[in-house]
Every structure is written in C-alpha cells, then in structure tokens.
Amino acid sequence: MTTRAELPAQPGMTVPGGTVPQWKLPDEGWGRKAADAATLHEPQNIREYVTMHQHLKVGGGTRLLDVACGAGLAVELATARGATTAGIDASARLVAVARDRSSGADLRVGDMRALPWADGVFDVVTSFRGIWGTTPEVLDEVRRVLRPGGLLGMTVWGHVKASPGAWALRPFLWADASQVTHQAAMNSLGKPGVGERLLTAHGFEAVRRVDVPFVWEFADPESYARAMACTGPGYEAIQTIGEQRFLHDAAQLAAEHARDGLPLRAEINLVGFIARAPAPSGGASSFLAEPAQLSAGASAAYADDKGELGYVMNATRLWAHDTEAMELLFKALGHVTRTAGLSVRDRGILVTAATSTLGDSYCSLAWGAKLAAAASTQVSAGVLAGDDSLLDARERALAGWARRVAADPNATIAPDVQPLREAGYDEAQILAITAYVALRVAFSTVNDALGAVPDWQLRTSAPEAVLEAVTFGRAPAPVAAPDSP
C-alpha cells in the first residue's frame, strides 16, 4: 500500500460496532474507495515499481513478497517479470482487487508486523511507501522471511518540500493537526542518514540509497481530486473538512497548475533503499560437503589459496570435488586472456560488469576489490552499479559487451559488436573477449547454483564502496570459521 497514513499505534480502537485492531484501521481510508485507489491513484506509481524491480533484479525464479501491497499493481508487475509473488495488506477490499489482478499470487489480508510466512522463504521483499518511521518493527519480520542474502527494497518520501510537485501533497495537510504531526513522523526515514541507520539497526547490511523517479500525472483537476480523496491521508483530511469541500478545494488547487493541452504533472522527491539480509553465522561454505579425502589436485589448490590469500576460498572447497574441471576452465580463461591482451584492469571491468548483471555477489566482491586496486574504488563501485562514467571509451565497450553477454546472449545484434572494433580489437580478440565473459559466467553459475558463500575475508578486503554496491546475490559469511585442512 502506498502513502499509508496510520493512526498512532494502540492495541485496538473503539468504533461503532466494537473494537477494531489497530492494524485494520488503514482499511477505513484506503479501502473505502478501493476501485478509485486501484485505477486513479495506484497507476501513478508505475515508475516507482519498475525502478525498484530493476534495482532488485526481479525476474524469473525470484520469490517476492510485497508488504502493504494494496491493490496489487506492484505484485502484478513483478509477476509479469517472471517472479513468484506474494503480498499482504491490511485492507480486505484492496486485497480483493489484487487477487482479481493476480489470481496466481499468494495474497493475504493481515498485519505486516506478524507476517504469516515461514522463515527465509523469499528472495526479495518490497514495500512501496508501506514501512515508515512509525512502524520500524516490521523490518524485523521482513528480515525473518528473507533468505540469507535476500534483498529488501523499500521506498519513502524524500525532501517533499523541495520537490516541483510538492503542491500535489498539500491536501493531506488539511487533516487534524495531530494527524499531520503523525504523517511527519512517518516520513522521517527519507531524511539523510535516517533510513540507513534504521535498517542497519534492524540487522540489514549493504544498505544503499537510490534515486527513484516519481511523477503524478492527471487528466484534469477533478480526476486529481478524486485520486487524492481515495488515499489514507486524504481520508484523514476529509474527516476534518468534509468530502465535498475536500474535492472542491483539491480541484481548485490543481487548476492553478493546469497546462493547456498537457496533463497535470507533479514531480515529487522519492527515496529508495536497497538492503541485504545477512547470512547466519557458522553456515556451510556451500550446499556440498567437502570431500572426505582430498585428491592431490585439491590439496594443491588448497595450498595455493593459503599461500596467495592466507585462507582457502569457499569456491575452492566446492570445486575440490573436481579440481581438474576447474583447472581446465581456468586454463581456457588464461588462453583467451592472452589472445585478447587483457590487463588486470580490463579483466576486472569484464568480470564486475558481467557478474553484477548476473547477480553473483561472490565474484563481484572478489573482483571488485581487484578492480579497486588496479583502478580505483570509485571505478569499481561504479561498474558494479552500472555506471561507466569513469571509464574511457575502450573500457566502456568492454563493460557494455560484458553486460549484454551476461544478461541475454540471444538479444545481441551485430551493431553491439562495433564498439569493440572501434576500440581497436580485431575479430579474434572479440571472440576471445566474449569467451572470457562466458567462461566467467559459467564459473559464477556453478558457484551460485551450488550455494557457494562469499568468504568472510571479502568483507575486510573489499573497500566499503564496493561492499555497498554489491546488494545482490548471497551474503558473505559474517564470521571467521575455522579453516579446515
């Protein structure tokens, strides 16, 4: 549910007909005109939903829960991206709309402070202006239902007063003064540092603030007024000044911003947060047990890791079941590296661009640290986040091609190869660069599919900016585990 205005927390509230639990109260405001909320108000949030789904890499196989799902448009959009979806909201009337839109989703009416799902069942939890500074305890429940390394994506209002479209929220201020004060407390998470501190305090890591485009557009002042009247904060204002006056005054306000031949438009500052649930302490290094007896090749690989790194990588433990396969893979990587003439910096760009696109945290952290050392922390964090502004033209060609290969090799077209030619690479080198990316993707795919946990040492070796950029994939092990021989 978006822009939810909650009444001050209390066990229950006496209303005509008896006592209503506090968590059910939002239905009075948001649910009373569910059809209007679903068709006039909620579609205004599409930019917000799409942006956050993109940041969270929602796609086929993602198990996603939307907290305060309202009429379920965000659930419907996540389902369209291939996710297996669930949602919860306090309003039975809005959930009825959500079920009509997404009959295959697991949609429930309930209290987001007590989520009715088992521990660790979701890869992603979203909440679009549904978790506020007044409901911090919800974050504990969200972390509980997320798998280790799972992602939370949530949005809150940012610096509204500085927004070009701040006028569009003015009707919410027509509520009783105590309700307006409560709204301000709800909106505190968007202030600099506040949301980050709260998420960290509730056990999340790699917390990152992201920009979220947000615009309300309406055909005319009357449709704007109806859209505001079906919201929770709008209902609070209606309780104070009456519905007819609310509709009249809101339409009159909007008329002041009407543009000939164009829709009403209100750009409003919105803040997004991406945060990761931590891995449990003392967890296994992967889904596979280490071989009971190490082969000569595995023993040599363990010794190489200890000599170079001071510890045995979890990926090496996984591949100990077939070190010959790993050696052949890396022999092929060495061959194409020489053919393409790739430097450490080049390889860092290719690997971080490809593995961040793939959603592999292990190689993103390991090579993010290497790229930071070979170039800079800013370059590394930028490539991991999809920002190539600090790269030169040749390096941008490498990063762009790596992302295309990792994302969907069947979607590439002939012009996509041209930047590599313009960067000076011949046909044999382009083949070698592509093989390098594909081999790195293959290595990451095996590690990820078999649950290889990024080593805890990567937490200390990777720069903070790199750690903050890797808000995807499996979380690094949180504590040092005894190193088996």
Question: 3-state secondary structure string, 271-311?
Answer: EEEEEECCCCCCCCCCCCCCCCCCCHHHHHHHHHHHHHCCC
Confidence of residue 471 (pLDDT cuts 50, 70, 90): confident
Burial zone of 156 (CB within 10 Å; 0-12 exposed, 13-18 middle, 19+ buried): buried
pLDDT of 416 strictly over 80 = yes
> Which of 148-157, 205-214, 475-484 is least confident?
475-484
Structure confidence at residue 472 (pLDDT): 85
When comparing pLDDT for 473 and 89, which is higher? 89
> Which of 247-256, 356-365, 457-466 is least confident?
457-466
Structure confidence at residue 483 (pLDDT): 47
When comparing pLDDT for 478 and 237, which is higher? 237
Name the average pLDDT for the chain: 91
Confidence of residue 2 (pLDDT cuts 50, 70, 90): very low
Ordered by where they begin, the domains of the chain are 12-276 (3.40.50.150), 296-469 (1.20.1290.10)
182-230 tens-digit pLDDT? 777 777 898 999 999 999 999 998 898 998 999 999 999 999 999 999 9
29-54 tens-digit pLDDT? 788 899 999 999 999 999 999 999 99
Structure confidence at residue 440 (pLDDT): 98
Please report, rounded to a whole number, the percentage of residues in the chain having pLDDT higher than 70: 93
> Which of 101-110, 165-174, 277-286 is least confident?
277-286
pLDDT of 6 strictly over 70 = no
pLDDT of 283 strictly over 90 = no
For 308-318, what is the mean pLDDT? 95
231-279 tens-digit pLDDT? 999 999 999 999 999 999 999 999 999 999 999 999 999 999 999 998 7
Structure confidence at residue 281 (pLDDT): 61
Closest by alpha carbon to 80, among 48, 56, 104?
104
